[in-house]
Amino acid sequence: MIKKLFLAIICLTISYSSYSQSITFESPTLTQALIGNVVKIDYKYTYASPGNIYCGINLLNDWTYVSFLGGAGTPVAAGTDVTGSLYITIPDSTTLTADLTGLHNYKINIELQNSSFGWVAGSYPSAQINMTKTTDWTGAIDNDWSKMGNWSVDVPNRLSTVSIPASKDVAIYASVGANVDNLTIDPTSTFTIYGGGSLLPTNTVTGNIMYNVYVPDTNWHLVASPLIGAQYDNTWVTNNDIASGSISASNKGISLYNNNAPNPTTGQWSYFQGGTSETFQSGVGYGLKKGTSGGNFAFTGTMPTVLNPSISQNDNNWNLVGNSFPSYMDVSAFITSNGTSGLNQLSDAFQAIYVWDSANANYVALTTGYIHPGQAFFVNSKVNPGTVSITKAMQSHQVSLPFYKSSSPTLNLSVSNATSSKKIQINYFDDKTKGLDPGFDIGMFDGVASDFSLYTHLPENNEGIAFVNQALPTSEIESTIIPIGLKANAGQELTFSLEAINLPSEIQVYLEDRASKTFTSLNNNNVNIVLNESVNGTGKYFLHLSSKSLNVDSNILEGVSVYFSDNSNLRVKGLSNTNASLKLFNLLGKQILNTSFVSNGVKDISLPKLSKGIYIVQIASENRTLNKKIILE
């Protein structure tokens, strides 16, 4: 559709060398396309100069030069008045050098070109065209926002001022990404966004919105209200089919995570008991559970602008926050803003967000991609107290993302029992280390107790942190032994499996069981193990990459890690069923400790009172010696 904008006729008279030129704008017209913004300029040439004349268009915003658009216009033969039209497409701000978000008044400046003299420069009067599009909802077809026939002009874009009149029903469906500048919703109308759909305003939204977060099953899901001020009470529980507790029916399937001292019965979770009216906190995550079948969690509230949920380090460092916007959040942008390169609110070893995979009952660490409107996730706090920032700048519609293929070697190691599966990832890069690489070494989520887990420890400067993603140097791919941590109960049958990507063909990946003194290749093989006793920690299993066969003659001290678990305790991991001795020296060579012990994977050794500084640990076992430098901070 076309909206006519009246403008007075503007005549421009230009003198240059031996010719003069005038141009008339004839009723400039604004045409709104579904994609982009098209300006139609009708013109009339009146001239008395030889050669061909070209008309070019400069697009300006508030009289500030933004970009040259449109290029040369129609060539004009000498001697005749010529009328015609130019069509100029004004793109979104992402394709321009300046940020045009929220700016709507564009000016068209005319420049003339003569084949002999080139461009005629100068400051000429410009016609102003207001790019703000006012389009109103009619609902002439149905309630679908994305259909042109439901609007007085056409489907809104990011420059549109929109009004939803009284007693109307408007819906943004699952695959629709809706843009608007300013939106006003009459209180008597219903405005609903269905799960997966998104709304991105340039400026303001006035009025209530309902967002339906869809879940496919009756499992627990981590959810945040995508709107401000949404409430829940007994009626909300009934209308949204919220589950009741199997042990205590007064516990409803609405839970908050508290990182303080755990409750003996419910751990860190507290459950809604009913009988009161509560408000979903903005930017805060909740555990929600359906009672009988999958369906929608319906939230009603207003549009947020910026979210700053609080985080802390109480009983643990984990905090459940959420994307309380009705649009998709860029995970990388969130981490950049709140991690070490931004506000520095996230722990160095946990530069990720942790989402709950309800289908596999597992927490997954994410560093890239997008999360849905209303999806909640855990973060690990570096500060006490602090806040994380979730902004509109992090929001977008869900779009098809380009496929990036890495040539770096990657290992995906999985272990499964009869009921679930756990996975860790190891990536090799030229510029990474065997110590901590923030943003690449990603710690394991341990904010909720679990009796089955798989993780790694750092080969160097190990501080006992469990990692689900680890980055290592490519140059040391064969010399780096990776400690594998496992927690599993006795009597379980476990299956280890490996997916190797971009791994050199001559490299074999071996799983070492140090207790049984065996090495088993994981290349194209699953390894089945029945646990005779419970396992909890590192020291039993190690991962080796080698172009040579490995055997039990390998150094028993390879992969052993030593670190201060606190100021009065030294922890040794990786020695199994063996006698060993340990000596501790300061940097001056003075011996501080000399002791013997028998290790079954993990051994804690009490220390005398020590000053902060660097120490040397020497461990001896089976005629082998290991020296490690450790730091007490």
Structure tokens at 449: 């107790």
Convert the pLDDT of each residue in 520-540 to its tens digit.
899 888 999 999 899 998 888
Contact 593, 581 (CB under 8 A): no
DSSP 8-state class, residue 334: H
Contact 371, 377 (CB under 8 A): yes
* Better-scored residue on pLDDT, 83 or 290: 290
pLDDT score recorded for residue 563: 85
- CA dist 199 and 325 (Å) reads 9
Convert the pLDDT of each residue in 159-214 to its tens digit.
788 999 999 999 999 889 999 989 999 999 999 999 989 999 989 999 999 999 99
How much of the chain exceeds pLDDT 90, in percent? 51
Convert the pLDDT of each residue in 344-363 to its tens digit.
999 999 999 999 988 878 89
- CA dist 551 and 163 (Å) reads 75
pLDDT at 91 over 60: no
**Average pLDDT for residues 282-301, to the nearest whole number?**
96
pLDDT at 37 over 70: no
**Average pLDDT for residues 66-87, to the nearest whole number?**
45
Convert the pLDDT of each residue in 129-164 to its tens digit.
444 567 889 999 999 999 989 998 778 877 788 999
Element of type H or E holding 336:
helix 331-338
Its pTM stands at: 0.72
pLDDT at 338 over 60: yes
pLDDT score recorded for residue 219: 93
Kindly report the number of other CB atoms within 10 A of residue 622's CB atom. Answer: 10
How much of the chain exceeds pLDDT 70, in percent? 76
- CA dist 414 and 463 (Å) reads 23
Strand partners, 396: 328
- CA dist 253 and 237 (Å) reads 8
Q: Where does 382-534 show beta strands of DSSP type E?
A: 386-387, 390-391, 395-396, 410-416, 421-429, 442-443, 453-456, 467-473, 482-488, 493-501, 508-513, 518-521, 527-530
The total number of residues written for the chain in this structure: 633
